[in-house]
């Protein structure tokens, strides 16, 4: 499994040239173009840099044991004094999650964001008591802030969380527009929400559109969130027993809607999941909605009400270990046990990599008799990201000269670029970032990607360390996971070179030692033989040589006997 | 990540009762009902047992470093003398792959299977020179063999590999029917292929139908393989340059069809992939098809022909490390490099768990300019497993009294059971196996699941060991993959209890030691302090106690400093 995804580990980088002499806007995605997650985009003009978003990505197969992957900010660290601000488009972790780890590194610039997003960032910051204080300036749609020679303006965006905004970075060459994550929904009359805003913006001098690509492969239009709300209401109104609705804690709009549905159908609401509770509290505090008095009850009171009077909204729809629904499925939840007539709604899609956990979740819930409704049997989830027709619509409305697809794996970006061509944007006006760190320069008439790129090695967060988990550590973890470790401790008489006592062997993850006494006996014999043959004519003892020899011989011997290759670590102690 | 999927590790088992005194057929899925893979089903009546299929499953998240998971055959090992034969339904590894590992354990019964399947089993057996010789009796559709009091008959099945058969086990109570993996295709006139055979079989006394559930959640009908062939031909005929078609080496029907398309369009064929080549050779040797002379060329001659004269058929559509297409994508293939106008067809679906590898595959191919066609943009793949309407059709044609869904995760089995209810099979006549090892007994009028179950602990193949990777070893591998290992070697003067020299520290997968000198210094200090405070008043030294103390203190110290929890292994050496 080692280096399965070779692209990730050691991207090729050259020293980055200074800005072109000719006046140009530089656009650098530092994250988010080789993955879904850790979004961060740099917009640079002359002496000014504006950064948009600072997200995290969850660990991947090649990064066992780490907590998060965050954007590599070396390019920015070398240009701290040029950074005029960090704009955050909305409160999801793939746009905010890296703030506690990298803000100080890039000189703690002022953060510009909306009210709800600000509250969510500050809430999370409480988990990092040693981080420096954040300076957050609250902005809203329609506002303008000066950032050096650049100006930023903000506009409304429909996503799955309230208070999401897009950003317009005004440069002397024209606007760079970053809608961030968006979808296009229709109002009651069938008109796209925010239509006037987009068409008005389309009349400006729009140089570059940075277009998300998450759903660039999905034809047609995304399911409207309203449809999901209607379906949830129908399912809840018809449910005979309790309803347990699981979704992402970040899908705040849907969570609020489920609470409203509960009110309409006289059901009490249990909210279970730390982050979900926190998000609902913040939204209430800031007045984004107001739950009826007493509608939300604590989990330990769930059994005080008849089943048809209960909705539990909880985390864990992705089968996350220890999340509420997973604990319910595994019969480990303190207050909620699956009972007859329970309806479980999995109001989320499947994030790639979680298939097996979700399968296990569904299996265990079904074994206990729950009725399960998931997105494949009813529209109980909608993506917050534009499908092909919405992407095309946005590009047509905003009429940019150049288009750069961002936010997605390369193939998604490529598909998004192909889409843009179909609506008449010339091929040469579209640039696909090759990797994180790709540097794209746009002048008034031309856009191209530089041969040089910004540093982009993976930056990993593991416990208290940021960036300090090196490739070698990850490779070791992967090897250890395959065949374990085999430590040999041998005491040698430094005078005679003889092995004193029997060598100690410690092994983990290799074989079950208690049932392998004969193998251990043979191994100890071979250790003694190997050491004494080597040290016999050796004064003083060259321990490095002897250790190498042991590693090699014992490794081969164990492979021959077991076809496994544990990591062999010899320790020699001269006494 | 430990024990994320709790179901897997230690299933609850009771001692299994002898067969009911009342005459009953016992049906026990030993594998394939908590997963897709390792299919094996036991049919037992009185003193006779017939086993059907012996497949493997590929490793899952909870089994790092192992090769395969195979069915637990303890139940059969205790009843070897009753086993009258092993029937293999077709040549896919999820039905044949465990044969080399478990056949001797169950007393090396005669294998009954078709000509092609036999050849594929024998071919694979060559990789196991130390296994005992296999006794394979060739059968074909329509044949009957006596197996003790039981009789087995065979019927034609449409799947994605030639020579697939279903089995009818005649018992004194009626037939147990095992179609195995199947789909229902229509002939040129729109009539289901094998319709007469199924309807004729439907007139017999069919007690139990064992129905696969792989696609029980998929509504409608599966895409006909013929549609895939037509689409492939269209894409190939229109391709300007080379075509590289990647698929499973086991989809032999499709591979043969692509070779025929190549013949029709005057393209030479390169077949790349060890198992794919072997399968094509076997199929040709047995006369399942005959490629035109010289149409198949070796990979090293691919560049002797113009691009429009080439089709490469290769493995690696799942992004498998080292498979042909993956090497092409990663620029590591000796003979095939992506060039302009190459069309890559991914003629396969995505096996859950492979999403990221396939994404990486597509990204790297797209970066090099290949045009990529996959199953989401065109019907270039069809499943070999029946969708809902086909499952219903089969059950209606065969008219069994009882139905047992097999082959799939619990939720799939449950969905399949619900389907069966919709076509009029009474709920009480349907039994869903709860786990592998569930024992189901059917009499003439009743079917039920016993409280006792057959042993079902995971049996893992890891190198030369079969079944010897214990839970503790897997748990250790998972822990090691998270935060690595930290070995402390301390020499103590057995007289004074003082630490001699500086303690040795070996660590892998935890932190990058070269950059952690200060942490190591502090750790060494704490080791010395911990040991000497403990041994100061201790004669003789209680090494177990001191080691426990070290493990605890150093573990806590490292966690406090890094928020990581490496496995701490203290070694004390008294000198």
Which of chain A's residues have a Cβ under 8 Å away from the Cβ of B411? Answer: 359, 362-363, 366, 372
Q: How far apart are CA A463 and CA A215, in angstroms?
A: 32
Strands (E), B157-266: 165-171, 174-178, 206-212, 243-246
Q: Spell out the alpha helix ranges (H) of B293-451.
A: 324-329, 355-367, 388-398, 410-422
Give the DSSP H or E segment for B244. strand B243-246
User: Six-digit token pair at B447?
Assistant: 């079917």
A451-470: burial string, b at 16+ Cβ within 10 Å, e else: eebbbbbbbbbbbebbbbbb
Q: How far apart are CA B176 and CA A39, in angstroms?
A: 57
CB B357 within 8 A of CB B338: no
Which of chain B's residues have a Cβ under 8 Å away from the Cβ of A7? Answer: 360, 363-364
Q: Residues with Cβ < 8 Å from B529, sequence gap 6 or more? A: none
* Residue A105 DSSP code: G
For the CA atoms of chain B, what is the radius of gyration?
A: 29
Give the DSSP H or E segment for A235. helix A225-238
Q: How far apart are CA A440 and CA A437, in angstroms?
A: 9
Quote the pLDDT of residue A540: 84
3-class DSSP state of B52: strand
Yes or no, beta carbons of B481 and A483 under 8 Å apart: no
Which of chain A's residues have a Cβ under 8 Å away from the Cβ of B353? Answer: 353, 355-356
Q: How far apart are CA A231 and CA A223, in angstroms?
A: 12
Within 10 angstroms of residue A204's Cβ, the number of other Cβ atoms is 16
pLDDT confidence of A167, banded at 50, 70, 90?
very high
Query: In this model, does residue A323 exceed pLDDT 50?
Result: yes
User: Six-digit token pair at A207?
Assistant: 């140089």
Kindly give the interhelix angle for B274-285 and B252-264, rounded to the nearest 10 degrees: 80
CB A183 within 8 A of CB A158: yes
Q: How far apart are CA A176 and CA A29, in angstroms?
A: 13
3-class DSSP state of A194: coil
Which of chain A's residues have a Cβ under 8 Å away from the Cβ of B564? Answer: 65, 462-463, 465
Query: In this model, does residue A47 exceed pLDDT 50?
Result: yes
Between residues A536 and A559, the one the model is more confident about? A559
Angle, alpha carbons A410-B307-B332 (nearest 5°): 50
Q: How far apart are CA A268 and CA A299, in angstroms?
A: 11
Give the DSSP H or E segment for A327. helix A324-329
The residues in B 501-520 lying below 8 A from A, measured between CB atoms, are: 504, 506, 508-512, 515
Nearest Cα to Cα of residue B61 among B110, B138, B3, B16: B3
Average of per-residue pLDDT across A309-337: 94
Q: How far apart are CA A541 and CA B234, in angstroms?
A: 72
Whether the full predicted model's pTM is greater than 0.95, yes or no, is no
Quote the pLDDT of residue B15: 59
Within 10 angstroms of residue A12's Cβ, the number of other Cβ atoms is 8
| 3-state helix vs strand vs coil in chain A, percent to 5 | 35, 25, 45
CB A416 within 8 A of CB A389: no
Q: How far apart are CA B332 and CA B316, in angstroms?
A: 13
- Residue B549 phi, psi (nearest 5): -60, -45
What digits encode the pLDDT tens for the residues A73-82?
999 999 999 9
Within 10 angstroms of residue A366's Cβ, the number of other Cβ atoms is 22
Q: How far apart are CA A565 and CA A482, in angstroms?
A: 8
Within 10 angstroms of residue A194's Cβ, the number of other Cβ atoms is 20
pLDDT confidence of A7, banded at 50, 70, 90?
very low
CA B153, distance to chain mean position in Å, is: 27
CB B370 within 8 A of CB B199: no
Q: How far apart are CA A117 and CA A134, in angstroms?
A: 13
Q: How far apart are CA A156 and CA A154, in angstroms?
A: 7
Nearest Cα to Cα of residue B460 among B106, B62, B67, B41: B67
CB A379 within 8 A of CB A231: yes
Which of chain B's residues have a Cβ under 8 Å away from the Cβ of A563? Answer: 462-465
Q: How far apart are CA A372 and CA A343, in angstroms?
A: 6
Between residues A349 and A464, the one the model is more confident about? A349
Closest in B217, B470, B481 to A64, CB measured: B481
Nearest Cα to Cα of residue A25 among A166, A207, A148, A204: A207
Yes or no, beta carbons of B480 and A482 under 8 Å apart: no
Yes or no, beta carbons of B7 and A468 under 8 Å apart: no
* Residue A293 DSSP code: T
Q: How far apart are CA A130 and CA A133, in angstroms?
A: 9
Yes or no, beta carbons of B489 and A489 under 8 Å apart: yes
Q: How far is A486 from chain B (nearest CA, A)?
A: 11
Within 10 angstroms of residue B369's Cβ, the number of other Cβ atoms is 12
Angstrom distances, CA of residue B541 to CA of A22, A492, A574, B534, B554: 77, 22, 21, 9, 19
Q: Which of A376, A409, A573 to mutate to test the interface with B (most CBs of B within 10 A)?
A: A573
Nearest CA in chain B to A569: B506
Yes or no, beta carbons of B481 and A65 under 8 Å apart: yes
Nearest Cα to Cα of residue A38 among A459, A485, A464: A459
Within 10 angstroms of residue B144's Cβ, the number of other Cβ atoms is 11
* Residue B141 DSSP code: T
The residues in A 314-353 lying below 8 A from B, measured between CB atoms, are: 319, 321, 330, 352-353
Closest in A469, A481, A561 to B477, CB measured: A481
What digits encode the pLDDT tens for the residues A138-163?
999 999 999 999 999 999 999 999 99
Yes or no, beta carbons of B363 and A512 under 8 Å apart: no
Strands (E), B283-364: 296-297, 310-314, 343-346
CA quadruple B120, B126, B130, B135: dihedral sign = positive
Splitting chain B (575 residues) into consecutive groups of 10 residues, what average pLDDT does each group show?
37 56 87 96 97 94 89 97 98 96 96 97 93 94 97 97 97 97 92 95 98 96 95 96 96 96 97 94 94 94 96 94 94 94 94 87 96 92 96 98 97 97 97 97 96 93 80 90 93 88 91 87 95 85 92 95 93 86
CA B254, distance to chain mean position in Å, is: 21
CB B510 within 8 A of CB B566: yes
CB A28 within 8 A of CB A437: yes
What digits encode the pLDDT tens for the residues B29-83?
999 999 999 999 999 999 999 999 999 998 888 888 889 999 999 999 999 999 9
pLDDT confidence of A423, banded at 50, 70, 90?
very high
For B522-541, the DSSP string reads: HHHHHHHHHHHHHHTT-SS-
Q: How far apart are CA B243 and CA B372, in angstroms?
A: 10
Q: How far apart are the first and last CA of chain B?
A: 40
Beta strands A402-406 and A499-508 are: unpaired
Q: How far apart are CA A134 and CA A103, in angstroms?
A: 8
The residues in B 191-230 lying below 8 A from A, measured between CB atoms, are: 217
ipTM confidence score: 0.87
Yes or no, beta carbons of B468 and A34 under 8 Å apart: no
């Amino acid at each position: 499994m080692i280096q399965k995804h070779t692209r990730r580990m050691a991207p090729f980088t050259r020293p980055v040239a200074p800005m072109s002499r000719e006046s140009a806007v530089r656009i650098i995605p530092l994250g988010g173009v080789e993955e879904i997650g850790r979004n961060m985009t740099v917009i640079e003009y002359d002496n000014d840099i504006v950064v948009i978003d600072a997200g995290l990505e969850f660990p991947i197969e090649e990064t066992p044991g780490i907590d998060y992957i965050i954007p590599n900010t070396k390019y920015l660290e070398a240009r701290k004094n040029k950074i005029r601000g960090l704009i955050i488009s909305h409160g999801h972790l793939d746009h905010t999650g890296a703030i506690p780890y990298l803000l100080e590194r890039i000189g703690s610039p002022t953060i510009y964001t909306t009210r709800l997003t600000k509250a969510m960032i500050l809430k999370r910051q409480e988990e990092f008591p040693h981080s420096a204080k954040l300076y957050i300036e609250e902005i809203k749609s329609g506002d303008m802030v000066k950032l050096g020679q650049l100006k930023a303006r903000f506009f409304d965006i429909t996503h799955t969380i309230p208070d999401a905004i897009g950003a317009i970075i005004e440069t002397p060459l024209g606007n760079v527009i970053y809608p961030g994550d968006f979808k296009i929904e229709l109002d009651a009359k069938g008109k796209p929400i925010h239509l006037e805003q987009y068409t008005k913006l389309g009349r400006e001098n729009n140089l570059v559109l940075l277009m998300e690509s998450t759903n660039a492969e999905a034809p047609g239009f995304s399911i409207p969130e309203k449809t999901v709300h209607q379906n949830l209401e129908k399912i809840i109104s018809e449910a005979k027993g309790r309803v347990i609705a699981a979704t992402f804690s970040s899908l705040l709009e849907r969570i609020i809607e489920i609470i409203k549905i509960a009110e309409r159908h006289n059901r009490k609401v249990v909210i279970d999941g730390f982050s979900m509770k926190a998000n609902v509290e913040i939204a209430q505090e800031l007045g984004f909605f107001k739950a009826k008095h007493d509608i939300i009850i604590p989990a330990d009171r769930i059994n005080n009400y008849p089943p048809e009077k209960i909705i539990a909204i909880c985390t864990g729809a992705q089968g996350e270990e220890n999340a509420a629904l997973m604990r319910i499925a595994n019969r480990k939840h303190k207050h909620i046990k699956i009972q007859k007539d329970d309806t479980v709604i999995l109001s989320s899609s499947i994030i790639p990599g979680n298939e097996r956990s979700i399968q296990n979740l569904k299996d265990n819930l079904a074994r206990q008799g729950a009725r399960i409704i998931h997105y494949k049997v009813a529209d109980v989830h909608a993506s917050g990201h534009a499908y092909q027709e919405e992407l095309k619509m946005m590009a047509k409305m905003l009429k940019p000269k150049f288009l750069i697809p961002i936010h997605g794996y390369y193939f998604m970006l490529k598909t998004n670029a192909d889409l843009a061509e179909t609506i008449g944007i010339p091929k040469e006006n579209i640039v696909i970032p090759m990797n994180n760190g790709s540097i794209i320069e746009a002048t008034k008439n031309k856009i191209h990607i530089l041969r040089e790129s910004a540093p982009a090695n993976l930056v990993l967060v593991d416990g208290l360390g940021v960036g300090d988990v090196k490739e070698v550590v990850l490779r070791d973890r992967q090897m250890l996971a395959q065949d374990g470790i085999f430590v040999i401790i041998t005491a040698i008489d430094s005078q005679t070179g003889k092995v004193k006592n029997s060598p100690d062997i410690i092994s983990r993850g290799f074989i079950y030692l208690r049932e392998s006494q004969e193998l251990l006996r043979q191994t100890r014999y071979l250790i003694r033989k190997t050491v004494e043959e080597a040290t016999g004519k050796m004064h003083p003892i060259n321990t490095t040589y002897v250790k190498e020899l042991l590693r090699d011989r014992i490794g081969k011997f164990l492979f021959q006997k077991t076809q496994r290759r544990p990591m062999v670590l010899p320790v020699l102690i001269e006494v």
